[in-house]
Structure formats: C-alpha cells, structure tokens
Amino acid sequence: MAIVEDEVRNGSEEENEIEVVVEEDEADQDSDDSDDDDDDEAVIEKKVAELVVRIADDPYNYNDHIDLIQALWSLSELDRWRSAFDRLQKLSLLRAEHWLMRLQTEDSLAHTPQAREHIAELFQQATLDCYSIPILTEWCSWSLGAGESISARDQLEEVLSRAGADPLSGKIFWDAKFELEKAKLETMNEDNPNYIEQKKRVLWCLEEAVSRPLLRSEEAWPQLEELALSLHNQDYVDKVKKQHEAALEYLQKISPFEDRLLTTEDPEEKCKIYQEYINTVKELSREDRYSECDSKSILKVLYDRATTECLSCEASHELLLAFVRHVRYTSSRATIHRVLELCARRCPRKATFWILKMQQAEHEDKGMDEVKSIFEMALSKGMESYKQAEVLWLSYLEQARRQTDFGTQDQVDKLRRTFRLAWDSLAEAWGEEANDCEVPLFWARLEYKRIKDPVQGKEIFEEIFKYGDNKTLSKYWEALINLERTRDPPAHERKLRDLHKRALRSVNDYPPSVARLWTDYERDYGQLATSVECAELCEEKLKTWRESYQTMKDKMIGQKQKGKQNPNKKAKVDNKKKKDEKSNKGKRKSDGSCEDTEAKRKKDADMEVDVPNEEGDTGGGVKRSHDEDEEEKADNKRQRKESSSDPGATGREACTLFVSNLEFKVNEENLRKKLSEYGDIVSMRVRAGVKAFGGSICYCQYKTPESVDKAVKHDRTPLDGRPMFLSRYSATKSKPTFKYAMTTERNKLFVRNLPYSHCTKEALTEIFDKFGKLKDVRVVTFKDGKPKGLAYIDYEEEQPASLAIEKTNGLMVGDRKIEVAVSAPPPRQDPGTSAALGQPKRDAGGGMRRTQLSSFIPRVLQTQTASTSTAKSNGNHSNGDQKQPLSNTDFRNMLLNK
C-alpha cells in the first residue's frame, strides 16, 4: 500500500490541511487485471473446445462455424481464425456479411505485397459465393488505395466485368473508374506523349456510363459533352447522344422490374420476377435500336443476382444452367471458367456443373489429371441422390474411355479398375439403390465391342444378376442377348438358344420383350422343332404373365372386367333401382359386385381414393369403399340430400390429382416436394407400377380444387428426368379427350427431323423466336422423357409463323435438315371404334403401351364373323331367327346320323 499526502481545500478553516489518501499499489492492480483476463481466456478456450466437438459431429452447422470464428478472434488466434474461415468456405457458401467481415479484417492486417495479392484473390472468391454490392464497393475502394503493388486499373476492370452493367448500381463503379482515370490525367501535362491517350480513357468511361441503361446515367452527360467536343466533332457527340437516348428508353422499360424486386421479399416471387426480367431483356436485345446497350452483360448480372437472392428456390438450378449457356457463346474463356466455378459453388450437390467443368477441361486439353481433380472435388461434396452420383460417375468413365488406347493392355487394365471402383463405390455409398446401375452395362458393352473380350463381358452380366431383382428385369437380358448375337467371335447357336430359354424363365417385369427376341431368332435361324418349342414356351410364359397382369390391373383401377354391365340394360336397371329403393329402405343395396365377401370389400376399399358414387354408375371409375355402402342404410330423404349436396365427397374428387408415368422406383420424397408446389397436400398415395403400365401412379389430394387447376397447367413437368402426366381425377369413367386442337392452326408450326441435342425449349426458342413472339414451344417426347425429334412451335400471330416456315424449312440444325410446316394433324380414329380380336390395341385404362404378341393367335380368331357382329349390333337376344348354341346331345345325334 502507498500513502499519498495531498494539499486540498476541503472546507475546513485551515487553508492547508493534509489529507491522507490510501491507494492500491499499481502492481496489485496489474495482478488483479491479469487474473481476470486469464479467467476470460479460459472461458473462451472452453467454448472453443465445445464448438470444435459440435462441428465434428455436425460439420454443416453454419452458425457453429461462425461462433467458432468469433471466439478465435477474441483469443487473438489469427492462424486458427483463418483456418476456421477456410474450413467453412470449403463446406458451404459464406454469407455476404461474413465475407465482408473477413475482407475488412484482412485489409487491416495486410502490410506486404503478398498479403495484398491474397486479398485480391479473396475478393474474387467472395463474388463466387454471392452477388453483393457492399462487397463490390469494398473491392472498388480497396483497389484505389491498395498501393503500387496492386494495379488499381486491373482490379476495377474485374469489378466492372461483374457489376458494371447492373442497371441499379452500375453507375457507382463507372464513377470510380472515371475518378481513377481523371486523377491520372491531372498528373500529366499536355506535352506528355500519353496525355491524349489518357484523355480518351476518361472520355471512354463517360461514354460507357451514358450508353448503358444505368440509373442516374444522365448525370455524366454534361461532362461527356464538354470533353468530347475537345477531342472530336459534333457528329461524334450526336452519335453518343442517340445511344444515350436509347439507353434511357431501355432503362424505362426495365425499371418496373427493379421496383418490384425492391418491394418483394418472398424468394419464389422474386424468382418469377427475375425470369420475366430476363425474358424482357432478351427481347430488347433483338431490337437494333438497343444494340449498344450491352444486353449480354445485363443478362450476366441478372443471372448472378437471381441465383444469389433465389438460391433456395427449385428454379435456381435452371437459372444457373441458363447462366452457363449464356456465357458459353458470349464471353471469354476466363469468364466461362469463373461462371462454371460460381455454379459449382452455389449448386454443389448436383452433378450438372461438375460435369460441365470436366468437359471444359477436356475441351481445353488440360489432361486427365485435371479432370480427375474436378471429379474428386465433386465426390467430396456428396451428391443429393443416387441418380446424380451415377450420372457423375458415368460422365467421368466416358471421359476416361476417350483417353484410353484399347490397343495398350496397361491402359485397358486401368480402365477396368476404374469401372470396378465406380461400381463398388456406388454400392457402398447408396446400398440397394445401386443394384439397378448403368455402370456395369457400360462396362460390359466396352468388353464386347471395344476390348473384344466377350468372356469378361459375360462375367459382368452374371455379377449383375446376383444383385436385387436384376435377374428378373428384361433390360439386362435384352442387352446380353443383343451383345451375344453380335459378338466377335460369334456364339454357337445352341448357346444362344439356351440363353433365350434362360431369359424367358427369369424375366418377370415384361416377358414379351424377351419372347419377341427369341421368336425373331427362331424365325431367322431355327428349325421346325426349335420353332415349335419356342412357340410353346413363349405362349405358356405369356399366358401366366397376362393373368398376373390382369389381376394387378383390376386391383389398381378398382374394377372387374367380367362384371361390367351391358349399356343397353342401363335404363332398365336404373328404373328397377329406383323402384326398389322404398322396399329396400334400411337394407344394403346389391349390385353385381355385392356377392363378394366383406373381407374382400375392405381390401378393395383400402386401394381406392374416397370418391362419391352417383346413381346409375356402372363401375366405370374407382370402386366404392365399404364405408360408403354402410351410409346407404339411411332413409331415402337422407340419400337424396347427400346425393345432391355432399360437399365432402364432391370436394374430395375435385381436389384429387391423378399422376401417371412416374418412375418404377419413384422417389416419393421428391414427388411430394414437387406436387406441394401447387398447393397444400392432404394425402398422397403412390402405387408402384409395372412396365406394362408405363410406370407408377399416384393419387394426390389437395385442400382446394384451385391447387388441382394449377397442377394440371404443369402437365408433362419432368421429375427425375421423366415427364409426369397430370390430370384431374374422376370417379366416373369417360372417354379420353385430346388436349390439343385437331384442326389446322396457321400460327402453329410442326417441326420434324430435329437432332436430339436440339430437342429443348431453349434451343428451339433460340431458332424460332427471332421471327416473332412465341406463345408456346412443345417438345414431343416418349413416356421416359427422351425426345422423338418432333416439336410444335406456337406463335401469337400467323405472319411470323409464315416467315419462320420460309426461313427454317430445310435449315441444317446440327447434322440434320429439319422440316417445318403448318400444324395440320390428320383425323384421329373414333375412340368408340373397337379393334378386332388380335389387332394391336392400347389399354383403355392407361395400361401398357406396347402391343401384346398376336403371332400365336390363329387367323380364324382374328376375324369377327358376320353373325357375331350382327348379334352385337342388334342387341336382341330373344330373336327366334338367331342360331342357338348346340348342346352335347345335338352333337351326339349329328354323329350317330352320320
């Protein structure tokens, strides 16, 4: 302790009074402060240890990473702080505010040229994660004051390439560029040989600012006019004035989109606005008046902004893909690299952009090592689904195949090891989902066709058959049979015949395919005995399959084919039902299906959607449930009331969407997520399909009928690459109607012979929208989503359609010459006309699309007799002239008389 004597006036009578003040010793104070600091540091260290453990358990928890970064900064652990930032950057996108925090911190710590170069790299990395005006402004300010070690002009060029065309904020960065060039001009005198050149640079900055549709660009016009007249004549000023006026008109047309974006918070709504905005800019870019407004750069900015602000939307993937396609044809190689890296950062768990990066590396001849590093980086991100992982592996294997010299055994062995690694890796990561895999099929084809080792190829197929249900799937047997038939050296006929027999015994999903292969083979190469054996075995297999198919069909559509009511008796039955209502009051109504047991009715009821059954329904829709039969015990008054005003039953049918053409192993989570875009889902039931049905089906019940209306408008929307068929559910069976016009439409074009690479809306829009405004572009596909090479182009008016025919009919697109004509569909066959026995017939219930084999049906059965046709058309079973079927006694008398 220390005693201090101080002379002070404390109000006493004595002027000088000695006051004794006791103060703590400074050493003691420092000791106490040090103890407090140690305690705080220990608490923070404990918090850091806890956060490290939590991040190890859940490495994708963004908030834990940020808490760790802040805690390390409190400890002044700079190296650990940077490592924490780098680790988070590898795992996830960094938000704009956290990038800004790191950039400003690094700027305050940078004192060497190497550190400043590192900051320039960080700015480039930050713009990959997000489009942020604060970050770009910080980059602009930093480049102006970074010193001679960093070229301010080069850094500003980087900023302008990213945001100079932004209609809302681009003027800020052109002003910075102008100030930089103006400052350099002021350091020169007129005798300097570079003075005029520098003066032109200043003028160029002003010209760019006024020639673009930028907010407040008119502020630069007075300066430009004064400077331009000192370097050029009035004609130059008039030319720039015309460009400036066009830019102002352009800005006026796009300003409403900017206003809507500023007042919209919902990402989904913003995404729609951005898509409209982008389409408008594309339309404006085709007008010659706006050719100097640099629409291509505006589109780049819009894609960058949209994918930053709407990244959580499902449409963001399509926007990113459109971004890549745009820069591929309009930008430099460096910009393409930057955009591909940007897309891979913002959508890392889809294979699309990693595949594009690998293809770009191969296109630039960077070697297989560069491709491999991109591929390994993609694998480390973890694909979102098995399909994405499989597509990524297949793309890598395809590039590995192109780099392989099949005449060199070492390279062939390396390729085989790569295929084995791909197959095993997919199985290890995805389990049973990888049973039905395309990788071994690709490998087997190469063994047969390129490596010329059919023994190895056959072993691959034998291994395929060991997993899951692969042995019962026709696609593998079809591939094996076709490869064995075309192998070199050729296989023996006996072995091929045994292979056909084995395939027929094994296949369960669609036996007609392998039956057709064997039948064709016997017709081409077989003897009488082998052909007869083939016919007998195929007929037996197909008979069993048709029976099981019919049983499954009855269960899925909820009706029995053999119990259908004759339409001619409908009126009589209806009258009888009305007549018996009073006598059957309180009793269960009976029809042709009421003889089933209660257990069977309950089983059938579990298969159906709850829908009303109108009086007189002949079973042409979904079967009624057991609960609905119980409700009929009520009196007639209640029945009449419910039949006319049951909002629950009617609402359920109106709120139900029927979805077909789904994958056989449809991902229900993805399906629910897709269907939920159209409204709130009450219930969703999926029925696993078979190949004969073309895929699985689904009944989706929404809260409101408006959701069904919205969903139907998105018919043929792809799910996992396969178009969904969306339609309203109806309990009553009705004839299918064709949704498109069957008459000649002068404003609609029919395009055929398209290359598959151009069978997309984007590619066709690029070809045809230059002739006029498009109403719709429809690509015709098979049920699995693969294009047929056909399309319909629908214009708003007839005149652009006529012009398009004149300009595009016979046009070479890719390697094909397309044919374009006015849409004039041929007359469709009357759907009520029934096909004769043995003729190809499509199932009316939405069943198999392939025609069943009719080669085994005797010819006499394929032609209806005149008497049968007459009897069916008359419908009169009491006519005495009609021949009655002969009994056994009749046949006996005829035989004895003979």
Looking at residues 747-757, what average pLDDT do you find?
88
Task: Tell me the C-alpha distance between 732 and 735, whole Å.
Answer: 10
Task: Tell me the C-alpha distance between 658 and 611, whole Å.
Answer: 13
Of 144 and 636, the structure prediction assigns the larger pLDDT to 144
The CATH class for the domain spanning 745-823 reads alpha beta
Output the pLDDT for position 150: 64
Name the β-bridge partners of 719. 722
Looking at residues 319-341, what average pLDDT do you find?
93
Give backbone dihedrals phi and psi of 513, rounded to 5 degrees, phi first: -65, -50
Output the pLDDT for position 34: 57
Its pTM stands at 0.60
Output the pLDDT for position 363: 93
Of 112 and 851, the structure prediction assigns the larger pLDDT to 112
CB 129 within 8 A of CB 159: no
Output the pLDDT for position 713: 86
Output the pLDDT for position 300: 95
Cis before residue 489, ω within 30 degrees of 0? yes
pLDDT band at 783 (very low <50, low <70, confident <90, very high): confident
> Which of 4-13, 228-237, 242-251: highest mean pLDDT?
242-251
Cis before residue 612, ω within 30 degrees of 0? no
pLDDT in tens, 460-470: 999 999 999 99
Output the pLDDT for position 845: 40
Output the pLDDT for position 836: 38
pLDDT at 881 exceeding the cut of 50? no
Map out the domains of the chain as residue ranges. Answer: 2-35, 647-734, 745-823
pLDDT in tens, 281-296: 999 999 999 999 999 9
pLDDT at 324 exceeding the cut of 90? yes
Task: Tell me the C-alpha distance between 503 and 897, whole Å.
Answer: 53
Task: Tell me the C-alpha distance between 449 and 438, whole Å.
Answer: 17
Q: What percent of the chain has pLDDT over 70?
A: 75
Task: Tell me the C-alpha distance between 163 and 297, whole Å.
Answer: 9
User: Is domain 647-734 classified as CATH 3.30.70.330?
Assistant: yes
Of 1 and 144, the structure prediction assigns the larger pLDDT to 144
pLDDT at 203 exceeding the cut of 50? yes
pLDDT band at 610 (very low <50, low <70, confident <90, very high): very low
pLDDT at 873 exceeding the cut of 50? no
Q: What percent of the chain has pLDDT over 90?
A: 52
CB 6 within 8 A of CB 19: yes
pLDDT in tens, 571-586: 444 554 444 444 444 4
Per-residue exposure over 755-791, b if at least 16 CB sit within 10 Å of its own CB, e if not? eeebbbeebbeebbbebbebeebebebeeebebebbb
pLDDT at 457 exceeding the cut of 80? yes
pLDDT in tens, 635-670: 443 343 343 444 444 578 889 998 988 888 888 888
Q: In this predicted structure, which of 268-282, 340-354, 444-458, 745-759 has the lowest mean pLDDT?
A: 745-759
Output the pLDDT for position 886: 66
Looking at residues 845-852, what average pLDDT do you find?
40
Output the pLDDT for position 37: 60
Looking at residues 426-433, what average pLDDT do you find?
93
Task: Tell me the C-alpha distance between 10 and 242, whole Å.
Answer: 84
Q: Which amino acid is at 5?
A: E
pLDDT at 854 exceeding the cut of 70? no
855's tokens: 């080669």
How many residues in total does the chain contain?
A: 898
Task: Tell me the C-alpha distance between 676 and 655, whole Å.
Answer: 13
pLDDT band at 4 (very low <50, low <70, confident <90, very high): very low
pLDDT band at 548 (very low <50, low <70, confident <90, very high): confident
pLDDT at 7 exceeding the cut of 70? no
Output the pLDDT for position 3: 37
For residue 439, what is the enclosing H or E element?
A: helix 439-449
> Which of 294-303, 547-556, 646-655, 822-831: highest mean pLDDT?
294-303
Residues ≥6 apart with Cβ < 8 Å to 50:
none
pLDDT at 499 exceeding the cut of 60? yes
Task: Tell me the C-alpha distance between 203 and 236, whole Å.
Answer: 12
Name the β-bridge partners of 813. 816
Looking at residues 240-259, what average pLDDT do you find?
95
Output the pLDDT for position 572: 47
Output the pLDDT for position 608: 39
Residue 812 CA: distances (Å) to CA of 16, 433, 726, 747, 771: 111, 42, 35, 23, 17
Output the pLDDT for position 18: 38
Output the pLDDT for position 841: 39
Specify the 3-state DSSP secondary structure of 841. coil
pLDDT at 851 exceeding the cut of 90? no
Residues ≥6 apart with Cβ < 8 Å to 758:
764, 767, 813, 814
Looking at residues 738-755, what average pLDDT do you find?
81
pLDDT at 761 exceeding the cut of 60? yes
Output the pLDDT for position 9: 37
Of 38 and 377, the structure prediction assigns the larger pLDDT to 377
Mean pLDDT, rounded, of the chain: 80
Q: In this predicted structure, which of 30-39, 530-539, 843-852, 885-894 has the lowest mean pLDDT?
A: 843-852
pLDDT band at 833 (very low <50, low <70, confident <90, very high): very low
pLDDT in tens, 44-85: 999 999 999 999 999 889 999 999 999 999 888 889 999 999
Q: Do domains 647-734 and 745-823 have the same CATH topology?
A: yes
> Which of 232-236, 564-568, 631-635: highest mean pLDDT?
232-236
Output the pLDDT for position 75: 87
Looking at residues 256-275, what average pLDDT do you find?
94
CB 755 within 8 A of CB 789: yes
